[in-house]
Amino acid sequence: MSEPILSIRGLTKTYRGGTRALDNVDLDIRPGEIFALLGPNGAGKTTLIGAVCGLVRPTDGTITAFGHDLARDWRSARARIGLVPQELATDMFETVQRAVAYSQGLFGKVHDPARIEDILRSLSLWDKRDAQIRALSGGMKRRVLIAKALAHDPELLFLDEPTAGVDVELRKDMWQQIAALKERGVTIILTTHYIEEAEEMADRVGIIQGGRIRMVDEKRAMMERLGTTEAVIDLAEPLGQLPSTIAAFPVELGEGRAKLIYRGGNGQGGGRAQVAQLAQALTREGIAFTSLDIHDSSLEDIFVGLLGDQAEAA
């Protein structure tokens, strides 16, 4: 496997006042991947990003980006890192185009109007290039922040809740933008409350809670390991006893013995095949059913389940 583009070891942050926002975090990010950091409010996501981007002073630990220790070689590293913050902080009286040009210069790049035009067009902001930022809607402001973060062509991009407050259509649009960035070889770390988003885009998912990384895995593997398929079969008539051929499946009877509930599989289609076998077995046994509802558990179910377990364990 290639060298991680970002490597975090033992990262701890205790804020003044004593809040321990990060607790001994280890994390490796691979070049070219989209990594989704999932966690509830206050989990430490923004603090983690801040520590890498120079907004937060780590209490302890090391951060290595592009093979260089950030504490010493921060200049060269920061020139290659982009940040879209969670808060909509923009220079309200500046125009879109000038704000993006400022970012380009600030990060040490030669003023490149063609590149700025590309970026603005790709984010559907070109028509608004001469508008003052304060006159834009919230979703557009967020896109301005993205444009600013892209102005120096970062190789590693942090998106702290890029789609917060963005409507569904625009969110889809933004997913495409992010996918396009990945195509261009940009490594992306995003945080989100929309698990749908991580499921849609991420290659790997990290779950953080209480300043600790609870789990990091390939999205696929995580869903395979923790995912399940659930099927609810409405029976034509209540069943007294499950025939052994049926009881061999991971099933149970519910709701007045008129529903057969299946839970199994691996979140990657294995469960669906088994449900098909179950349906055939029911037919063979002469058990009639009126409907069959099937769904794979999502990352959300996994997430909620995992955090629930942690909460119970705590």
Partner 1 sequence: MHFNPRSAYAIYRREMARAFRTAFQSILSPVLTTSLYFVVFGSVIGARMEPVGGVPYGAFIIPGLLMLTLLGETTSNASFGIYMPRSTGTIYELLSAPVGVAETLAGFVGAAATKGLILAAIILGTARLFVDYEIAYPLLAAFYIMLVAASFALFGFILGIWADSFEKLGIIPMLILTPLTFLGGTFYSIRDLPAPWDAVALANPIAFLVSGLRYSFYGVSDVPIALSLGLTLGFLTACVVVIAAIFHTGWRLRE
Ligand X SMILES: Nc1ncnc2c1ncn2[C@@H]1O[C@H](COP(=O)(O)OP(=O)(O)OP(=O)(O)O)[C@@H](O)[C@H]1O
Nearer to ligand X, 55 or 273 (CB): 55
Q: Three-state SS for 91?
A: coil
Query: With binding defined as CB under 6 A, does residue 195 bind ligand X?
Result: no
Query: With binding defined as CB under 6 A, does residue 238 bind ligand X?
Result: no
Query: With binding defined as CB under 8 A, does residue 78 bind partner 1?
Result: yes
What part of residues 23-62 is at the interface with ligand X (CB under 6 A)?
39, 41-47
d(CA 213, CA 207): 6
Interface with ligand X by CB under 6 A: which range of 14-22, 90-98, 279-287, 304-312? Answer: 14-22
CB of 265 to ligand X, least distance (A): 31
Q: Which does 83 bind (CB under 5 to 8 A by kind): ligand X, partner 1, Mg ion, none?
A: partner 1
What part of residues 129-158 is at the interface with partner 1 (CB under 8 A)?
148
What part of residues 71-90 is at the interface with ligand X (CB under 6 A)?
86
Long-range contacts of 278-287 (CB under 8 A, 24+ apart): 278/231, 278/233, 278/246, 278/249, 278/251, 279/233, 281/245, 281/246, 281/249, 282/233, 282/246, 284/245, 285/243, 285/245, 285/246, 287/235, 287/236, 287/239, 287/243, 287/246
Nearer to Mg ion, 35 or 262 (CB): 35
Strand-pairing partners, residue 263, are 230
Q: Three-state SS for 134?
A: helix
Give contact residues for partner 1 (rule: CB under 8 A): 15-16, 50, 53-57, 74-76, 78-79, 81, 83, 85, 87, 89-94, 98, 102-110, 148
Give contact residues for ligand X (rule: CB under 6 A): 15, 17, 19, 21, 39, 41-47, 86
